[in-house]
Amino acid sequence: MPETTRALVELCDTLIQSRQHVGPKHLGLPAPDDATLTQLFEAAAAAPDHRQLTPWRFLVLGPAARERLSEVFAQALLERDADALPEQLADARAKAFRGPVLVLAVADLRADEPDAPEPERWLSLGCAIQNLLLAAQARGFGTGLSSGRAMGSAALREAFDIAPGEQAVCFISIGTPTRAKSPRVRPAVQSFVRWL
């Protein structure tokens, strides 16, 4: 193997193996600026995409959008628990403001394309997200994915114009980790692979 190829393989392996979830509460400044975010989305755009449907989109939530999201979180909590206490509602609202950059990932399953069934479209979104996470990791940023019961709520769909045939999937938080984290133990290859 040529030395340049070996170095690229080592860099790739290190990037993948060192990436780990960092919760939004543990992400601070500095955060990626708009030009860097554009680069992260360019990485997402390189995901496998059978039939070139782009079966996903990303919403970068600015201050006004986060205010809307905070009310969505409070409303979703009240729908689950009408007796939620004021401090519980305040905590639900606060979740919308954790982490310096917050992105909503949306699956778009609307296209009538039988040659690219839904599982392929979901996979394309997953690859786009992973590309974004790795591109952020390469630039020194931490990332975390989060979801929750509010993802399927009518309030969230209305607040962010999620159309019929689309599905809000997860939030991606991006920033600089504020604490060190021990590496996660990965499953052994033998536990999930069989050679037939």
Q: Please determine, for residue 130, whether its predicted confidence score (pLDDT) is greater than 90.
A: yes
pLDDT for 161 equals: 97
Output the pTM of the full model.
0.94
> What does residue 60 show for φ and ψ, rounded to 5 degrees?
-85, 115
**What is the CA angle 114-118-123, rounded to 5?**
125
Q: What stretches of 33-160 show up as alpha helix (H) in DSSP?
A: 34-44, 63-80, 86-94, 118-138, 154-159
For the chain, which residues make up each domain, given as ranges? 21-61+100-179
- Which tens digits make up the pLDDT trace of 24-78? 999 999 999 999 999 999 999 999 999 999 999 999 999 999 999 999 999 999 9
pLDDT for 105 equals: 98
- Which tens digits make up the pLDDT trace of 151-196? 989 999 999 999 999 999 999 999 999 998 888 899 999 999 999 9
- Which tens digits make up the pLDDT trace of 84-101? 999 999 999 999 999 999
pLDDT for 183 equals: 85
Q: Please determine, for residue 127, whether its predicted confidence score (pLDDT) is greater than 90.
A: yes
- Domain 21-61+100-179: homologous superfamily in CATH: NADH Oxidase (3.40.109.10)
More confident residue, 79 or 175: 175
Range 123-152 average pLDDT? 96
Alpha carbon distance 31, 91 (integer Å): 23
